[in-house]
Amino acid sequence: MHHGLQGRVLQIKGQKRLSAQDLPVGIDIKAFKNLKPVLPVGSSTKMDLPFTISEEMMSYNKDKNLLLWELALKYESARGNISEKEVLEKMRDIVRILEKSISDGIKGTQYMDRIYPAQAPAFKEKQTGNSFLNMGLYNDAILAVTALMDVKSSMGVIVAAPTAGSCGTLPGTCLGVATALNMTEDQKIKAMLAAGLIGVFIARMATFSAEIGGCQAETGSGSGMAAAGLVTLLDGSLDQCIAAASMALQNTFGLICDPVANRVEAPCLGKNVMMAGNALSAANMALVGFDHLIPLDEVIIAMHKVGQSLPCELRCTGKGGLAMTPTAKALEQKLTSQP
């Protein structure tokens, strides 16, 4: 509660700088400080966007021959009313935050109120031994995905890409693979931009909310986004990016959300890792020319309908699946009884 407002709370919404005319009579403008924007990029209801779904994007690009990451620049520039250079630099900041989070997770995280202890350090150590399945780049993705999930569970800094519960799938897969292949920061930025544009289409026609669509809306969406990002890393075409995203999303239909003990840890870690493998597979399938058959927009719409058809018990309510097993309920009781 702000001192001097006679016990009242004043809520002010807007994008412009606060002036005396914005306040009720009798309230001094000097009592307020203009805050920096909560979101790093402004928003408006009066945007002139070049496209909002992939079909529109393909029509827009017919005479331009732009790659997916370049189209993402066009979209984000129009969406935020900022230059394409600013878009690039904002994604650079995001990539650097994510890379630090991955590094911190691999080093190890400490936090008492969690289900899993830090998992990434043990995985990193096993990678160097012989008693370990050599799965190539998938292991690099698993390490980065796990590191991000560890940091999230320790209340560290992450980027919800697209959500906190699925924060490992997209950035862990793309950045883990890119780092293993000694790719540059600019290559990572382009991959994340490409992935983000797939997310735009999902947000437009479906949802990122597990409460509405199950885990297919979270880790599933992250997997479709990551698949397009991986193709971008490998200099794939626009059509291949769209094909990869379509195939990855097709494989996620019906994925439920059943968090154990109401914590976004189990089986969330495993699902993030599984969806990383899905993204890798879809990317390779697209790069060699597999036919995705169903257009991306149709896949997203169908995915959303499937998610809405799931029983509410399987949509992040903690009332179905693993969340209702005796062991999960005992764990929930133990965690809630801790001081």
Domain chopping of the chain, boundaries: 54-337
Q: pLDDT of 188-219, one tens digit each?
A: 999 999 999 999 999 999 999 999 999 999 99
Can you give the pLDDT at residue 129?
79
Instruction: Please name the residues in contact with 55: beta carbons below 8 A apart, sequence gap of 6 or more.
Output: 295, 297
Nearest CA to 256 among 248, 247, 268, 246?
268
Can you give the pLDDT at residue 258?
98
Q: What is the CATH number of domain 54-337?
A: 1.10.4100
Distance CA 314, CA 230 (A): 30
The DSSP 8-state label assigned to residue 3 in this structure reads T
Buried b (16+ CB within 10 A) or exposed e, 142-164: bbbbbbbbbbbbbebebbebbbe
Q: pLDDT of 136-147, one tens digit each?
A: 999 999 999 999
Distance CA 200, CA 40 (A): 17
Can you give the pLDDT at residue 228?
99
CA quadruple 15, 17, 23, 29: dihedral, nearest 10: 150
Residue 26 CA to its chain's centroid (Å): 45
Nearest CA to 52 among 221, 199, 194, 161?
199
Q: What percent of the chain has pLDDT over 90?
A: 83
Instruction: Report angle CA 167, 169, 173 to the nearest 5 degrees.
Output: 125
- Asked whether the predicted pLDDT for residue 307 surpasses 60, the reply is yes
CB atoms within 10 A of CB 301: 14
Q: Is the dihedral of CA 188, 171, 92, 104 positive or negative?
A: negative
Lowest mean pLDDT among 3-12, 35-44, 252-261, 273-282: 3-12
- Please give the model's pTM, rounded to 2 decimal places: 0.90
Q: What percent of the chain has pLDDT over 70?
A: 90
Q: pLDDT of 107-156, one tens digit each?
A: 999 999 999 999 999 999 998 877 889 999 999 999 999 999 999 999 99
Can you give the pLDDT at residue 229?
98
Cis amide prior to 267 (ω within 30 degrees) = yes
Distance CA 286, CA 276 (A): 15
Distance CA 88, CA 189 (A): 7
CB atoms within 10 A of CB 127: 13
How long a stretch of residues is the chain? 339
Can you give the pLDDT at residue 20?
74
Confidence band of 2 (pLDDT split at 50, 70, 90): very low
Q: Is 315 helix (H, G, I), strand (E, B) or coil?
A: strand
Q: How far is CA 241 from CA 175, 248, 336, in A?
A: 17, 11, 44
Can you give the pLDDT at residue 132?
87
CA neighbours closer than 13 Å in the CB half-sphere of residue 252 = 40
